[in-house]
Amino acid sequence: MTTNLFDYFEEAPAHEEAPARWAARAPRRPQAHFDLKLVPRVAAWREDRDSLGALQRLEREPWVDTVVREEDGVRLRLDDSWIETAGAALEAGGSAEATLSDLVRGQRFSVQFWDANATKALHLGHLRNLAIGNALAAALAQGGGQVERRSLISDAGRSMGEAMAGVMASGRHAHSWPDGDEKSDHFVGLCYADYVAASGSFTGAEIEYPEDSMTREVALRGDAADELLKRVMGGELEALELWYKTRAWVIAGQRKTLARLGVAFDRVFFESDFLGDAAELTAAGLRDGRLRRREDGVVIYATGLQDFEEFPLVRADGLPTQHMRSLAYWMAAPELEGTTSMQVCGTEWVSHVTCRRKLMDELLPVGAGGAGVAGAGSVGGFGAGSAGALGVGSAGGSGARSGPNGGAERGGWGTEPAGGSNGGASMHPTRDIFNGMVSRQKRALASSEGALLIDELLEWLDARIDESPERRLVRHGHPASERIAAQIALGYFLSFPVAPPIDFDPDALLRDGESLGWDLVRSRARHSDAASNGRRPAEDPDYRFAVVQSELYRRYLHLAVQRFDVGPLALYLKHLALWYEERPRSEPVERVVQTLLDRSARGLGLEATR
């Protein structure tokens, strides 16, 4: 049989007019006398002619050994030759993904994640976002989709001015690169934190409450950070050089962290690329009354929503807020036509997304061609020239523009966008995926207050592994020992439901049964010393169970790409790994299971593929 076992039961109707009568379920543990349980879709299946007819046809299939009717359903045992043929292919390894690539073949997807600030190193909050986005992109790619991994870097707000001011205060702003062994993003992050602490502008509340963070971004303080932003907006060469340099240092350091994790991106955009768009949107919105300027000079959108009545879009000094920068990017939707787009972000941004989508919903129907205003002319902000000039272009190409404000000037809210923008007037992203916050001891992680950095966590994991003889054996037996820390760190988050917050305990990363990443690492490092006792593989219930589990993988991958949720796939892998770890298995079982573990690791983005 070339059809997947579980697909067979989903796709086999009783006859042309009737739906399938049976659903196949795999037992959670090996069973001596059957491999599948068939669950009736009709309660009175014993009196249903179509249900009985389907069983009769099933009994005649060459890959079926026995079909046993019982009170609560039917038990099916597969033919030994089918088990051994399927198992031999798995033992040999080979192109295990070939049978999976039809699930979303020909469909285009964009998965946007990372989306960090260009002011500091990546911390645990970013790690959960990276794990989810990377796993979803990997699952879609394994299912045959054309997947682009995207990110939008925040490089144009108040925090950027604070990072620049901190670098200036350090006295190292004239250097071409930070001195010593310190990573460049760590250096800038410390400068940023020192400046924020000294200015007293940070309380930590903005990490838990984004509306407080936006209040902080909107407020003008007249300090060094605001002065630097003003000079950058005015195109002053010295300030622009510091801005480019600060951003380049941070992105270069963050990319080293991403490389350690094995996470790569196809397209990276910067919010500063869309400042011209934001200026056009602001001018048009004020003209037609969609936006209004408050007495303090801040431009806002009145949402009509009780919990977030005003959506601040532009500061009194003309600098777009993160709300507006995000709006401008998604209105432009560069090269997303015909693509299912997703953005992975924290649940703390639900209000922002709700307001932004409400405003976009008003904008997109206006005019014949939709609403994306892509690349409006420069308004004198953030200068000219390529962001890649200082080595911060993306892997595989930087943003769609040649410079932060590049492009020809065009009309307002409902104008026809140029090619490559949101010409189809579809709202992007197609779907928002919100992940809960990561806290420690119920306290939100704030990088300005010394949140655990990803680099520190990976180094801590390596040290904890190397200090334990048992864990050193795991490293020695693993096929990619240099990847162990990254697999543990990324894998840990995948078996949790996406939306609820996680109270993070680093020690849990290395606890058996509590960490998907560690369970996967242990199982991939395990090598069998159990003999097969001369039995045929099909005589071993463990072998039969492993082969059936290989068929089940496709169903979980199908769920992941249908629902854009890798959670069930991660739990499948966790169950398989823990079962395999329970006791020694025979060498044939080991070869089958290792193929499944490798396939699962690729499908969840836990293998560096580029």
3-state secondary structure 342-372: EEEEEHHHHHHHHHHHHHHHHHCCCCCCCCC
Distances 223 to 161, 201, 228 between C-alpha atoms, Å: 10, 11, 9
Q: What is the 3-state secondary structure (H, E, C) of 48-74?
A: CHHHHHHHHHHHCCCCEEEEEEECCEE
CA distance 8 to 34: 18
State phi, psi for 157 to the nearest 5 degrees. Answer: -110, -170
Please name which of 420, 480, 441, 395 lies closest in space to residue 151, comparing C-alpha atoms: 395
For residue 216, count other CB atoms closer than 10 A to its CB: 19
Residues 6+ apart with CB under 8 A from 85: none
pLDDT (0 to 100) of residue 15 = 56
Which residues face 70 on adjacent strands?
Answer: 73
Please name which of 512, 522, 518, 516 lies closest in space to residue 495, comparing C-alpha atoms: 516
CA distance 484 to 457: 12
CA distance 588 to 600: 19
- In the Cβ-directed half-sphere of 371, how many Cα atoms lie within 13 Å? 22
pLDDT (0 to 100) of residue 205 = 43
pLDDT (0 to 100) of residue 304 = 94
pLDDT (0 to 100) of residue 395 = 35
Of the candidate ranges 185-194, 195-204, 222-231, the one whose mean pLDDT is the lowest: 195-204
Q: Is the peptide bond before 30 cis (omega within 30 degrees of 0)?
A: no
For residue 341, count other CB atoms closer than 10 A to its CB: 21
35: three-class secondary structure by DSSP: coil
CA distance 525 to 233: 54
CA distance 207 to 191: 19
Indicate the pLDDT class of residue 212, thresholds 50, 70 and 90. low
CA distance 245 to 241: 6
Per-residue model confidence as pLDDT tens digits over 392-420: 333 334 444 433 333 333 233 333 333 34
Per-residue model confidence as pLDDT tens digits over 329-340: 999 999 999 999
* β pairing state of 267-270 and 146-153: parallel
Q: What is the CA radius of gyration of the chain?
A: 28
Percent of the chain whose pLDDT exceeds 70: 82
CA distance 157 to 137: 29
268: three-class secondary structure by DSSP: strand
Top pLDDT among 69 and 200 is at 69
What's the mean pLDDT in 596-608? 93
pLDDT (0 to 100) of residue 188 = 96
CA distance 284 to 366: 12
Q: Counting Cβ atoms within 10 Å, is residue 12 exposed (0-12), middle (13-18) or buried (19+)?
A: middle
pLDDT (0 to 100) of residue 172 = 83
Q: Provide the 8-state DSSP code for 117.
A: B
pLDDT (0 to 100) of residue 213 = 59
- Crossing angle between the packed helical segments 516-525 and 484-492, to the nearest 10 degrees: 140
pLDDT (0 to 100) of residue 324 = 98
Per-residue model confidence as pLDDT tens digits over 97-149: 678 999 999 999 999 999 999 999 999 999 999 999 999 999 999 999 999 99
Consecutive H or E run containing 483 = none
Phi-psi domain of 396 (left: phi exceeds 0; alpha: psi -120 through 50; beta: other): left
Indicate the pLDDT class of residue 244, thresholds 50, 70 and 90. very high
Domain boundaries, the chain: 5-78, 454-603
Which residues face 312 on adjacent strands?
Answer: 300
237: three-class secondary structure by DSSP: helix
For residue 131, count other CB atoms closer than 10 A to its CB: 28
pLDDT (0 to 100) of residue 72 = 77
pLDDT (0 to 100) of residue 426 = 85
What's the mean pLDDT in 358-363? 93
Distances 394 to 105, 129, 399, 493 between C-alpha atoms, Å: 26, 19, 7, 26
Q: Is the dihedral of CA 195, 198, 204, 210 positive or negative?
A: negative
Does residue 179 have a pLDDT over 90?
Answer: no
Indicate the pLDDT class of residue 375, thresholds 50, 70 and 90. very low
Count the residues in the chain.
610
Does residue 206 have a pLDDT over 50?
Answer: no
Which residues face 18 on adjacent strands?
Answer: 15
For residue 98, count other CB atoms closer than 10 A to its CB: 9
Of the candidate ranges 104-118, 125-139, 170-184, 501-515, the one whose mean pLDDT is the lowest: 170-184
Q: CB of 73 within 8 A of CB of 38?
A: yes
- pTM (2 d.p.): 0.88
Distances 408 to 393, 401, 417, 586 between C-alpha atoms, Å: 22, 11, 11, 67
Q: Where are the alpha helices (DSSP H) in 143-223?
A: 158-170, 184-199, 205-208, 210-218
pLDDT (0 to 100) of residue 307 = 84
Indicate the pLDDT class of residue 389, thresholds 50, 70 and 90. very low
Q: Where are the alpha helices (DSSP H) in 467-566?
A: 469-477, 484-492, 516-525, 541-563
Please name which of 150, 157, 118, 154 lies closest in space to residue 334, comparing C-alpha atoms: 150
Percent of the chain whose pLDDT exceeds 90: 75
Does residue 534 have a pLDDT over 50?
Answer: yes
